[in-house]
Amino acid sequence: MPETYDAIVIGAGHNGLAAAQVLANQKSKVLVLEKNAYVGGMAGTREIFKGCRNEVGASCLFPIADEILEYYEFEKNGVEFLELPVMAIKLVGSGHPPLVLYSKQGRQLWHIVRHHGFAAMLGFVRLLRFLKYPASVMDRFTPGRVPRGLAQLLAEAPTEQAREQLRLTFEGSAMDLIDKFFPDKEKHHTFRSLLAFAAIQSTYKGPYTPGSALCLVYTFAQSGDGGLMRRVKGGMGSLSEALVRSLEAAGGEVRLKSSVDRILMEEGRAVGVILKGGGEIRAAAVLSNLDKPATFGRLVGEEYLDASLASDVAKAEHRGAYVHMLFRLEGLPSYGGEWAHLNADIHNRFGGAMVNAPEVLQESFETCDTGALPAWLPVAFQIPSIVDPSLAPEGQHIASAYGFCFPCKAAKELRGELLDQAAERVIDQICTYMPDFRERIIDKAVFSSDHFATMHGVTEGDFTHGLIHPENMLGERTLVAGSAHGTPIEG
């Protein structure tokens, strides 16, 4: 007789574990199946370099709704949140002042006024005020509410001005929005550059591409915790490891190295799973922590999809236009040249982004879209061992970097060479600001979206489970009317 559970969750990423926790708290007999030897998925932590705890994907805890923090009681289950005096630094090229993002509001405002001028501060405040309404109806931080589509939001908007605001922020380009508040390309170079970059990290668009404004709204949506980024001691995977402890204490079960081959279907209903290598486990309900194509195309099978569901699955765009790099460093790199003054505060070296003018960013995107490697890649970087020494051996540091606008559409046989070239360009970009970075590298690992697809089962290596495009978000992301996560397939 096969094993039987109330619910099976496929994938021990943090979302899958969180769902399993809810079920276990309701006294359901729940089993989580994970193909890897560690939990957390793309927010997992494992030893890639000897003696280090390396994050395989996500590296910062972004704002979470207060209700979620209260429900899961992370700190009671061993999670230690680390506050960041400097959440990020935005480096925007020679001759332009960097923007430091501080966690303390007063220090932040003083920094902007002192280094960027009163007009820049006023533009930033006005932008945040303008985004407040569209961000609020997005419901990013209102758990339990069913997402509404753009048509419904437009119908519910209180005024014609509010409707125009929604059309601009949900359908316009990021630069339509940025030009409104930071029109001067020279005086506002820093803010134009960092905002353009913020608008494309989770999209397959450039900042001038229609629809890119939505990601900017999503990024600047505020939660009850003040919108502050934090670190998790021991790496982001510690969050999922705590969820496992809590889940098991509630009677749930997690099995590692247990890969699901397909979802078992009987008379159009999901009744369990078939494991790779054989073995059948049955359940009254099956939950998938994978994206739509991976769930329905690979695990369920197209023969079980009606035309409407097949269309919904097919229209969701998935791209992974990035290169991900991990480093083990001998000592801590320093800023050089015109940026040397930033070394005075060690937290300025924690992480941030190295970006350029929106026009350059658009050109890089358009080049990568042709299948070619751009001459310049925007880079997000982090040296987390600055705030958490437990991540690396004494005297060493770990670092990570993402280089965006990698040509993920290039033929697969070309991607290996392109990946090597992109990795060198990322290191060169970092060395522009930290000249001793390259010489401090002891070990490095380079991953493309192809690696993410293999390691984590995500379609095209897309870490968003569906890019932050208007047609993929809000009510358009759902499959069943009146449900945020339900599917037309019973079980």
Sorted by sequence, the CB contacts under 8 Å of residue 394 that are 6+ apart come out as none
Does residue 156 form part of some domain? yes
Domain boundary among 249, 273, 289: 289
From CA 381, how far away is CA 355, in angstroms rounded? 11
Tell me the β-bridge partners of 283. Answer: 5
pLDDT digits (tens, 9 = 90+) for 186-204: 999 999 999 999 999 999 9
Residues 43, 130 share a domain: no
Angle among Cα 427, 433, 438 to the nearest 5 degrees reads 35
Q: What is the dihedral of CA 26, 256, 61, 378, to 10 degrees?
A: -140
Number of domains composing the chain: 3
Does residue 142 form part of some domain? yes
Question: What pLDDT score was predicted for residue 484?
Answer: 84
Q: Cβ of 385: how many Cβ atoms within 10 Å?
A: 21
Does residue 376 form part of some domain? yes
Does residue 333 form part of some domain? yes
Question: What pLDDT score was predicted for residue 102?
Answer: 95
pLDDT digits (tens, 9 = 90+) for 26-38: 999 999 999 999 9
pLDDT band at 229 (very low <50, low <70, confident <90, very high): confident
Could you tell me whether strands 280-288 and 269-275 are parallel, antiparallel, or unpaired per DSSP bridges? antiparallel
From CA 148, how far away is CA 155, in angstroms rounded? 11
Q: Is 50 helix (H, G, I), strand (E, B) or coil?
A: coil
Question: What pLDDT score was predicted for residue 351?
Answer: 97
Task: Evaluate whether 404 touches 98 at the Cβ level (below 8 Å).
Answer: no
From CA 488, how far away is CA 296, in angstroms rounded? 11
Residues 425, 337 share a domain: yes
Does residue 245 form part of some domain? yes
pLDDT band at 224 (very low <50, low <70, confident <90, very high): low
From CA 390, how far away is CA 397, in angstroms rounded? 10
| Alpha helix segments (H runs only) across 221-282 | 237-249
Task: Evaluate whether 20 touches 33 at the Cβ level (below 8 Å).
Answer: no
pLDDT digits (tens, 9 = 90+) for 243-289: 999 999 999 999 999 999 999 999 999 999 999 988 999 999 999 99
Taking alpha carbons only, the member of 403, 432, 348 closest to residue 90 is: 348
Question: In this model, does residue 225 exceed pLDDT 60?
Answer: no
Sorted by sequence, the CB contacts under 8 Å of residue 278 that are 6+ apart come out as none
Residues 195, 258 share a domain: no
Residues 338, 391 share a domain: yes
Tell me the β-bridge partners of 102. Answer: 86
Question: In this model, does residue 39 exceed pLDDT 80?
Answer: yes
From CA 270, how far away is CA 275, in angstroms rounded? 14
Question: What pLDDT score was predicted for residue 62?
Answer: 84
Question: What pLDDT score was predicted for residue 1?
Answer: 78
* Mean pLDDT, rounded, for 444-449: 96
pLDDT digits (tens, 9 = 90+) for 103-161: 998 999 999 999 999 999 999 999 999 999 999 888 888 888 888 988 999 999 999 99
Residues 279, 208 share a domain: no
Percent of the chain exceeding pLDDT 70 equals: 99
Does residue 69 form part of some domain? no
CA quadruple 360, 361, 366, 369: dihedral sign: positive
Sorted by sequence, the CB contacts under 8 Å of residue 472 that are 6+ apart come out as 316, 317, 466
Does residue 398 form part of some domain? yes
Question: For the domain that residue 276 is a member of, what is the CATH number?
Answer: 3.50.50.60
Residues 449, 409 share a domain: yes
From CA 452, how far away is CA 465, in angstroms rounded? 12
Residues 354, 243 share a domain: no
Q: For residue 296, what is the DSSP state?
A: I
Does residue 162 form part of some domain? yes
SS3 content of the chain, % helix, strand, coil (to 5): 45, 20, 35
CA quadruple 100, 103, 108, 109: dihedral sign: positive
pLDDT band at 395 (very low <50, low <70, confident <90, very high): very high
Task: Evaluate whether 321 touches 404 at the Cβ level (below 8 Å).
Answer: yes
Question: In this model, does residue 403 exceed pLDDT 80?
Answer: yes
Domain boundary among 168, 195, 220: 220
Mean pLDDT of the chain: 94
| Alpha helix segments (H runs only) across 172-255 | 174-181, 189-198, 213-220, 237-249
Residues 123, 16 share a domain: no
Residues 440, 349 share a domain: yes
Question: In this model, does residue 349 exceed pLDDT 60?
Answer: yes
Structure tokens at 312: 């919904």
| Structural domain range at position 348 | 319-457
pLDDT band at 475 (very low <50, low <70, confident <90, very high): confident
Angle among Cα 239, 316, 469 to the nearest 5 degrees reads 75
Q: Is 133 helix (H, G, I), strand (E, B) or coil?
A: helix
Question: What pLDDT score was predicted for residue 324?
Answer: 98
